[in-house]
Amino acid sequence: MTRMLSTDVDRLQDVGAQAVAIARSIGADHAVASVRANAGVRVTARGGEVDTALRDAGQGLTLTLYRGARAGTATTAAFDPAAMAQAAQEALAIADLMGTDPDGLPPALADMALDTPLPPIDAPSGRDPSALRAMALEGDALLAATIVPGATIETLVAGVASSEGAEALVTSAGFSRGERYSSHHAWLVAMARDGGGAVNDSVESNDRRFDRLDPMAALARRVVARVAGQLGARSIPSQRSPVLFEARAVGALIGDLVGALSGNPQQRGATFLPDALGRQVAASHLNLWEDPFEPYGLRSGGYDREGIAGRRRWVLNGGEAEGLFLGTRSARRLGMTSTGNAGGPWNLQLTSQTPGGSFDALCRQMGRGLIVHRMTGGATDPVTGNWTYAVSGSWVEDGMRVHAVTDVTVGGNLRDMLMGIVAVGNDVERSGVVLTGSILIDDLQIGGAA
């Protein structure tokens, strides 16, 4: 099969070993080399033509050197010995300027994923740029051929991307492993226009296996339904009301939860969930499962960027925080051990112990309130949990959608919001790093000018 990336893991491990040797030779007590390379093609189309065709290629070596308990890091895109030597010298010069930080030393070799199994995450597409071009043009043509009474549909972007990468981690303590991975992406951004103005929305499909991407026809149907559904949107009066977050909007909320449970904010006390471990932080029916090893999972991997394996575990069990997201440094500072999350969370799945049924069932359960299709901007205060966002959505009366909604805000505090999740739907889809259904929150502040 044709590969876009010509280098392989062995070569990157060699580069890492050379860099570590150079580092030791100039006086580093420990050295960690992280080496990566990627290659890909991205094509976008609109108006019946290819808009952009891009070939991406990149590589990098990040070298962290330790003199005693002082660390310095340098990154270079060149892999020749002179560039590696320069990076090593820069890293060592930085280390000499640092304060001592014993907690920042690399993990012990015995704690590292020396021979744990690696989940499959590499499935090169074998597609050449012309195949991607044809697919992007197909997406554009499907949108152009769509007829919506009283409105015109236009492609803003029809895009297809396919990429491959490889990474290796080599340390002076004796760790040396690498992984290859692939990543494929198809997306459509469409605009709908009628006498009242124009709206736009997007859909996307991401997978490590190209042939598992949603077909363009399915993406086109979804994006047209979304933009057409937003025509005629209007505001609503400010009020308190339940809010139903569509699955695709839930990932951002769970992302805020992951941030709050992460090592750095936890050890700094800069989180709205301080000392969370063992405490009830979400509604008592909620579970959050983490799985680093899901075959072809978008966030799967054999170990984190420090070489520590994650594990299958409950992060939330019955709403109680059973796990934090820790790397080595923050774990040591908290008197704990790394959870293998130095690179962030692995694949997550939000579920309820009392399944909430279909999306329509959640609408009926809500009765009267706001459906949030997406957050269009806003901010979370990670320390206080204050949460205010601009949203687009739909208004529901008697369990039925009445009209599309725009120019409204939703506000609350994440501590209350997590406790106020009353149901999780079975309309499961991937939203960022999280597999989740839609969620219903009992009471939030809605702002509108109507």
Q: CA angle 285-291-297, nearest 5°?
A: 120
Task: State the Cα–Cα distance between residues 227 and 220, nearest whole angstrom.
Answer: 11
Left if phi > 0, otherwise alpha if psi is -120 to 50, otherwise beta: which for 48? left
- Report the residue from 238, 317, 365, 426 that binds other proteins according to the rule CB under 8 A: 238
Q: For residue 180, how far is the Cα from the chain centroid?
A: 19
CB nearer to other proteins: give 343 or 378: 378
Closest to other proteins by CB, 48 or 174: 48
Q: Counting contacts by CB under 8 A, is residue 26 touching other proteins?
A: no
Is 68 near other proteins (CB under 8 A)?
no
User: DSSP H helical segments within 61-128, as ranges?
Assistant: 81-97
**183: β partners:** 163
| Residue from the set 75, 152, 337, 353 that interacts with other proteins by CB under 8 A | 75
Comparing CB distances to other proteins, the nearer of 211 and 381 is: 381
C-alpha dist (Å) from residue 174 to 14, 92, 169, 423: 13, 20, 10, 48
User: Distance (Å, rounded) from C-alpha 41 to C-alpha 210?
Assistant: 13
Beta-carbon contacts of residue 311 (< 8 Å; ≥ 6 apart): 292, 339, 340
Q: Is 434 helix (H, G, I), strand (E, B) or coil?
A: strand
Which residue among 17, 21, 69, 94 contacts other proteins (CB under 8 A)? 94
User: Whole-number minimum distance, CB 200 to other proteins, in Å?
Assistant: 4
Q: 423 has which bridge partners?
A: 440
Amino acid at 241: S
Applying CB under 8 A, among 8, 111, 407, 427 the residue interacting with other proteins is 407
CB closer to other proteins out of 319 and 448: 448
Contact code string over 292-331 relative to other proteins, x by CB under 8 A: ----------------------------------------
182-221 positions binding other proteins, by CB under 8 A: 191, 197-200
Count residues binding other proteins (CB under 8 A): 71
Rounded to whole angstroms, the Cα distance separating 119 from 133 reads: 31
From the list 10-18, 21-29, 50-58, 171-179, the region that binds other proteins by CB under 8 A is 50-58
Q: Which of 19, 33, 91, 439 binds other proteins (CB under 8 A)?
A: 91
- Nearer to other proteins by Cβ, of 150 and 196: the residue is 196
Among 10, 56, 275, 397, binds other proteins (CB under 8 A): 56
Q: Write out the two tokens for 285.
A: 């029916």
Please name every residue paired with 241 in a beta bridge, in sequence order, or none if there are none.
444
Q: Could you tell me how many residues make up the chain?
A: 450
**DSSP SS3 for 273:** coil
**Which 125-144 residues touch other proteins, going by CB under 8 A?**
129
Could you say which of 90, 111, 427, 443 contacts other proteins (CB under 8 A)? Answer: 90
Which one among 104, 215, 232, 318 touches other proteins, defined by CB under 8 A?
104
Q: Is 10 in the site for other proteins (CB under 8 A)?
A: no
Distance CA 311, CA 302 (A): 9
Does 269 help bind other proteins (rule: CB under 8 A)? yes
Q: Tell me if 78 contacts other proteins by CB under 8 A.
A: yes
In the complex, least distance from residue 49 CB atom to other proteins, rounded to whole angstroms: 6
Q: For residue 61, what are its two tokens?
A: 């070596």
Using rule CB under 8 A, residue 408 touches other proteins: yes
Partners of 43 in the beta sheet?
53, 160
Q: Does 101 bind other proteins (CB under 8 A)?
A: yes
Strand bridging mode 347-352 / 434-436: parallel
Rounded to whole angstroms, the Cα distance separating 316 from 135 reads 40
Q: Is 74 an interacting residue with respect to other proteins (CB under 8 A)? A: yes
Residue span binding other proteins (CB under 8 A) among the ranges 139-147, 172-180, 402-410, 427-435 = 402-410
Buried/exposed 189-225: b ≥16 CB within 10 Å, e otherwise: bbbbbeeeeebbbbbbbbbbbbeebbebeebbebbbe
Which of 22, 28, 84, 95: binder of other proteins (CB under 8 A)?
A: 95
In the complex with other proteins, the residue whose CB is nearer, 350 or 408, is 408
Q: Provide the terminal-to-terminal Cα distance of the chain, rounded to the nearest Å.
A: 58
Nearest approach in angstroms of CB 89 to other proteins is 8
Of positions 27, 58, 355, 367, contacts other proteins by CB under 8 A: 58
Interface with other proteins in residues 336-395 (CB under 8 A): 376-379, 381-384, 386-390
Positive or negative: CA dihedral 149, 152, 157, 159 = positive
Chosen residue from 7, 18, 34, 59 binding other proteins by CB under 8 A: 59
From the CB of 190, what's the least distance to other proteins, in Å?
Answer: 10
